[in-house]
Structure 1
Amino acid sequence: MNRPTASEAGNRLDAAHRLLGSDSAAAAALAREVVRAQPDDPRAAMVLACALRLCGDAHGAVAALDLPVRAAPEDPVLAGEWGLALVAAGDHARAIAPLRLATRAQPRLARTWQALARALRMTGAEDEAWHADAGAVAAASVDPMLAEAARAMTAGATDKAQALIERYLSLMPDDAAAIRLLGELAWRSGRQDQAIVHVTQAVALAPGFEAARVFLARMLVEADRLPEAMEQADILVARAPDEPGLVMLRASILVKLGEQDAARVIYEDLIARGTAPAAVFLNLGHVAKTLGHAGKAVEAFRGAIARAPGSGEAWWSLANLKTVRLDAGDIAAMRAALAAGARGEDAFQLHFALGKALEDAGEDAEAFAAYAQGNRLRRADLPYDARATHTRVRAHARQFDAAFFAGLEPGGVGAADPIFVVGLPRAGSTLVEQILASHSEVEGTHELPAMMMLADRLAVRARREGVSPEALVAGLSADERTALGEDYLARAGVHRRTDRPRFIDKMPNNWQHLGLIRLILPRAVIVDVRRHPMAAGFAVWKQHFARGQAFAYDLADIGHYYRDYVAQMAAFDEAVPGLVHRVVYEDLVADTDGQIRALLAALDLPFEEGCLEFWRNGRAVRTASAEQVRQPIFTDGLDRWRRFAPSLGPLEQALGPVVEAWPGTPPDWRDWLGRDI
């Protein structure tokens, strides 16, 4: 074969370079011809080495670069390709020096950083490998294709973002930054499980990708996979024990796991350092409240306010202790914060806190106005469709009727452990939980998200299969029902701390999932706690909830929600008579001894005196009623709504005959379920 001219060699080398991404064998053949003709051409050697590496001949790639690297040992381009070849050949120790040279000279080459991280990790230099991981992520993050994908995702162009990320991954299949971005795209699209899979892969590829690990920990928390979240937080804190943000992340997971004292120690340690921001004081206050340390909670919330006088969360957290009365100075300070231009969450939380302070001061008109403004602001950020709730309630009642349960085949988990306490928030469910948790056979947990998560997962599947969620749940096989029951118990088990045979799930919204509960946990018992509809509705309306409860910020929405709740419970009582034990809050206040005895009997629990002295129970309580249930029952708040009755017309109108029928069920509940709202 004739030796190619310089022009021909250049053309062949250009062709080989173009073939690297599609036909590396052909690229190697062309490059080899050029190397034979021009053995001193470093570019030809580089293209040949790259092609051989892509073909799987890593040792050949190393050999191809031997002479060029000796001739120009400080050339960062040659060094980078040589380092990639050495890593591919498993010679990690020799690869480190050339890869360091290459990354210093060309820090935007993600592949070179990735190879350096691998080489360092394989030689035991884990600390340096974490830094190299960060370099790889930083380099990938400025890649034009990934940057465009991120912009498309932010703009809501999910298909475009997906296509760009997949195109990038076709060129860089092990790029952690791109895979993490794919995870974020899945998360934003509601594909929670897939998002976790992607980000877990990103962290496995680049253990030093701290932002991805933080994101993974937060997603695992949202999915209630708390032990896994704690594993990620432990890794982060072990690497950076003095990083407040990471330490606080770990503490927040401890709180969700019920390890309140461990979290308290962390927050107190951060404060002792002298530079803690308001958020640390807030978190300490929440933990102190949960543990029943009211004085320490007040002190911590005041500490947060001192550092951030306009913090709506700090003011509301203080007001939300319920047993605390804010004074005239506090009212003036909150008004000043609002006048200074508080926005967003600060604004509506300040209005809720101001409403509480004014109500306690007897300034009812001004209190109502403050509550109304807080609700308007919150409602604007939290859309709610009362018609959608009504449609789901109607479908549930129609699907899970007496005929359905009469023909139901056996299935689910036969454990009698769970006691579901359902109803509206602020209706007395925390009091009932505290009473039951004072029994030696019952463990109090908190408002567990497990059942709602299972219901959401089934709803996603129903949409995918083109059926209603109710029809899908009704059609679950016996094995599926058992698997779901076991899944629920496993998720709930994460929050259990004792070996008591039974436990309480106090998520009030679970009344919407009674059919599912009956199917997967047929021996579970349900306690329905009710309060006068006007009292309950007003209590909900003046409460800012940390999350969820989207119905709670409009009086008419609350009334419709309560009416739906009463109707669905009536339908379920008819379908499965005797399963639900109802506790009327006002009756519990009036006849505590008799109502507690009836409750325990309904749950097949022997009477214990400790249940009558529930306020002596030192367990952690995480709801708004935490301070109230640590004292004997009082009657002060029973009729407080009547002071505001002239302004509660939208609530009363939406409730309709529910008010007149109280504490019974309105006779028109079937008609209500049968019509649109």
Structure 2
Amino acid sequence: MSSPPGTGGATGSNLAASLALVDELQRALGRNDRARIVDAVRQLVSRGAPMGAQWQQIAYMAADHGELTLSRQAMALYVEASGGNPMARYQQAGLLAQGGAVQEAYALLQALPENVPDPAVNAYSRGAAAVFIGKLEEARELLERAIELRPQLGQAWLPLSTLVNFAGEPELTERIVAAERQMRQAPPAAQAPYYHALGKAYADLGEHARAFAAFAEGARLKKSERPYDRQGDRAAAAEAVRGYDADAVASIARQQSEPTDRTIFVSGLPRSGTTLVDQILTGHSEVSDGAEINRMPMLARDVGGASHSSLARHVASHGAPPAARLWRHWMDERFPAPGRVVDKSMETSRYLGLAAALLPEAPIVWLRRDPLDCAWSCFRTHFLAGVEWSYDLEDIAFRFELENQLLGQWQQVLGDRLLVVPYEALTEDPTSWTRRILGHCGLAEEPQVFEPHRNERIVTTSSVMQVRRPINRKAVGSAEPYREYLQPFLAAYRA
């Protein structure tokens, strides 16, 4: 970060103090010292330092450290420094959406001129936000406008494909197929989501060979951008369980004096039913919200690692309560409304030792799904980030094996603390399994949780459309029409 530019209204003393704080922030960043980074940012914000356009960088820095209030304040200063520039407000909406404030982001986008940043991207951004908040008719209108203005905007084809069944949309099918010629000239970042949308179109039409080919092309493009590090992932999985057993977890849990029952952890592979369980739980009157919040990696960074030895050293130096207070602070930042919350982050399996030991009152639920169905669902899903293993069938098999090993080890360590929920059983007998989930989480039965599709909360995962429908078994056996194309997974899985 460079030194802050001066502004006409900045006094000499304020500028000097700001320069000193920027220097302190740079040193804290070099040491990766979260507490000092946050403190320096807080002081810069409180004094309204003359940072100009650098407020945007500081806003994302604060968000990356879980400080969403500070992040919003810094971004507001960025907008102010820009003189209320519409492009700055568009970027502000992006930050709000990233922090979970999708409704606010949507409102801000609605207030912008339709040519910011340009008409096609504006329509796409508003349409995508409308999908998440459940305004589906409006979403479709906006997304169709985006692709009409720019057919090679693959990012718009993707959410539009989730809203429709192409089997009943011949005109839209013709448009998405015809767009492929133009898409070949688009950058890979636009091509990949387009090919996933095209795969969805062919799948709706029952054209399995063409569907698989389109999904495979989208996956190939994604993999070329973000290759999967198998050995690094194996090492992270080994680190996650190193040194943990029931006694090791209990010995640290006994040192915890803070309340730790606000969070409910829902773990499992992507596309295994975690969003459905999130939807069930957040329908309860005592549960205010839930999301993929990705705070456990931040806690591990603060502790010094995910292994038991790293945690034990940290607790010996600082005690267990400060970590729980930091976690509660992050939860309050992300979920300001009172009530319990669901953390369904995709990497939770790598941090369950930390979660179980430092937050001993937090229930843990793990979803399992038929491996072939889950593999196919992962392969055909265009994840935004963090799922690099999903773009190759053999990589998927490798990751699934690691998760199987982790589940077995965590079951030994955590015992009844960990409730394993089979997706197929949940969809076969949702009433019984919903009761088991509620009981495990210490929640009384309430009628609305048995109809999770009526829960109108904002959903921002790939399952946004599925959880708006009554629980059903349509996804059970969904991979069967593609079995011949999934042989690389079957050959590698438990080979």
Q: Same fold (TM over 0.5)?
A: yes
Contact 2:53/2:78 (<8 A) preserved: no
Tell me the equivalent position of 2:402.
564
Contact 2:115/2:122 (<8 A) preserved: no
Give matches, 1:183-332, under 5 Å.
183=26, 207-240=49-82, 242-271=84-113, 276-321=118-163, 327-332=172-177
1:622 aligns to 2:460 (yes or no): yes
Deviation at 1:497, TM superposition (A): 4.3
1:423 aligns to 2:268 (yes or no): yes
Contact 1:176/1:202 (<8 A) preserved: no
- Specify the SS of the correspondent of 2:341: strand
Deviation at 1:526, TM superposition (A): 0.4
Letter in 1 for 2:106: R
Give matches, 1:488-567, under 5 Å.
488-500=327-339, 502-567=340-405
Q: Residues 182 and 569 from structure 1, CA distance in 2 versus in 1: closer, same or farther, beyond 3 angstroms?
A: same
Contact 2:45/2:70 (<8 A) preserved: no
Deviation at 1:590, TM superposition (A): 0.8
Q: Residues 407 and 254 from structure 1, CA distance in 2 versus in 1: closer, same or farther, beyond 3 angstroms?
A: closer
Deviation at 1:259, TM superposition (A): 3.6
Contact 1:530/1:582 (<8 A) preserved: yes
- Specify the SS of the correspondent of 1:476: helix
Deviation at 1:440, TM superposition (A): 1.2
Letter in 2 for 1:486: R
CA distance in 2, matches of 1:193, 1:322: 47
CA distance in 1, matches of 2:350, 2:462: 22
Q: Residues 409 and 367 from structure 1, CA distance in 2 versus in 1: closer, same or farther, beyond 3 angstroms?
A: closer
Letter in 1 for 2:328: L
1:636 aligns to 2:480 (yes or no): no
1:349 aligns to 2:229 (yes or no): no
Contact 1:375/1:554 (<8 A) preserved: yes
Letter in 2 for 1:595: W
CA distance in 2, matches of 1:227, 1:621: 22
Contact 2:18/2:50 (<8 A) preserved: no
Deviation at 1:424, TM superposition (A): 0.9
Give matches, 1:556-635, under 5 Å.
556-635=394-473
Tell me the equivalent position of 1:439.
284
Contact 1:196/1:216 (<8 A) preserved: no
Q: Residues 649 and 272 from structure 1, CA distance in 2 versus in 1: closer, same or farther, beyond 3 angstroms?
A: closer
1:383 aligns to 2:265 (yes or no): no
Contact 1:390/1:564 (<8 A) preserved: yes
- Specify the SS of the correspondent of 2:53: helix
Letter in 1 for 2:322: A
Alpha-carbon deviations, 1:326-370, whole Å to 9, x = none? 63223324312223x122201222222221212112221122112
- Specify the SS of the correspondent of 1:445: strand
Give matches, 1:639-654, under 5 Å.
639-654=477-492
- Specify the SS of the correspondent of 1:421: strand
Give matches, 1:329-478, under 5 Å.
329-339=174-184, 341-405=185-249, 407-408=251-252, 410-412=254-256, 413-458=258-303, 461=304, 469-477=307-315
Q: How many residues in Structure 1 have an aligned counterpart in Structure 2?
A: 488
Tell me the equivalent position of 2:319.
480
Deviation at 1:398, TM superposition (A): 4.2
Contact 1:288/1:294 (<8 A) preserved: yes
Contact 1:175/1:202 (<8 A) preserved: yes
Contact 1:278/1:308 (<8 A) preserved: yes
Letter in 1 for 2:55: R
Deviation at 1:182, TM superposition (A): 8.8
Q: Residues 573 and 260 from structure 1, CA distance in 2 versus in 1: closer, same or farther, beyond 3 angstroms?
A: same
CA distance in 1, matches of 2:481, 2:39: 53
Greater C-alpha Rg: 1
Letter in 2 for 1:513: Y
Contact 2:22/2:40 (<8 A) preserved: yes
Letter in 1 for 2:150: A
Letter in 2 for 1:250: Q
Tell me the equivalent position of 1:662.
none
Deviation at 1:249, TM superposition (A): 2.3
The RMSD of aligned alpha carbons is 3.4
Q: Residues 253 and 184 from structure 1, CA distance in 2 versus in 1: closer, same or farther, beyond 3 angstroms?
A: farther
Deviation at 1:524, TM superposition (A): 0.6
Structure 1: state its 5+ residue gaps. Answer: 1-109, 124-128, 134-172, 463-467, 658-677
Contact 2:166/2:173 (<8 A) preserved: no
Deviation at 1:407, TM superposition (A): 4.9
Alpha-carbon deviations, 1:31-74, whole Å to 9, x = none? xxxxxxxxxxxxxxxxxxxxxxxxxxxxxxxxxxxxxxxxxxxx
Alpha-carbon deviations, 1:173-224, whole Å to 9, x = none? 989699689959958x977777777778888999444221111112222333
Contact 1:267/1:281 (<8 A) preserved: no
Contact 2:53/2:82 (<8 A) preserved: no
Contact 2:250/2:357 (<8 A) preserved: no
Q: Residues 366 and 471 from structure 1, CA distance in 2 versus in 1: closer, same or farther, beyond 3 angstroms?
A: same
Letter in 2 for 1:652: L
CA distance in 2, matches of 1:354, 1:397: 40
- Specify the SS of the correspondent of 2:364: strand
CA distance in 2, matches of 1:392, 1:239: 42
Letter in 1 for 2:319: E
CA distance in 2, matches of 1:407, 1:215: 41
Deviation at 1:418, TM superposition (A): 0.9
CA distance in 2, matches of 1:349, 1:602: 38
Alpha-carbon deviations, 1:484-524, whole Å to 9, x = none? 11111111112224322x22111121111110001210111
Q: Residues 297 and 523 from structure 1, CA distance in 2 versus in 1: closer, same or farther, beyond 3 angstroms?
A: same
Q: Residues 539 and 204 from structure 1, CA distance in 2 versus in 1: closer, same or farther, beyond 3 angstroms?
A: same
Letter in 1 for 2:238: R
Contact 1:286/1:297 (<8 A) preserved: yes
- Specify the SS of the correspondent of 1:527: strand
Alpha-carbon deviations, 1:578-602, whole Å to 9, x = none? 0011111111111111111121122
Contact 1:418/1:503 (<8 A) preserved: yes
Deviation at 1:245, TM superposition (A): 1.8
Letter in 2 for 1:404: A
CA distance in 1, matches of 2:471, 2:178: 33
Contact 1:247/1:266 (<8 A) preserved: yes
Contact 2:18/2:44 (<8 A) preserved: yes
Deviation at 1:637, TM superposition (A): 2.3
CA distance in 2, matches of 1:204, 1:258: 24
CA distance in 2, matches of 1:611, 1:409: 31
Alpha-carbon deviations, 1:451-495, whole Å to 9, x = none? 12112344xx45xxxxx8442124332643221111111111122
Q: Residues 181 and 432 from structure 1, CA distance in 2 versus in 1: closer, same or farther, beyond 3 angstroms?
A: same
Contact 2:266/2:343 (<8 A) preserved: yes
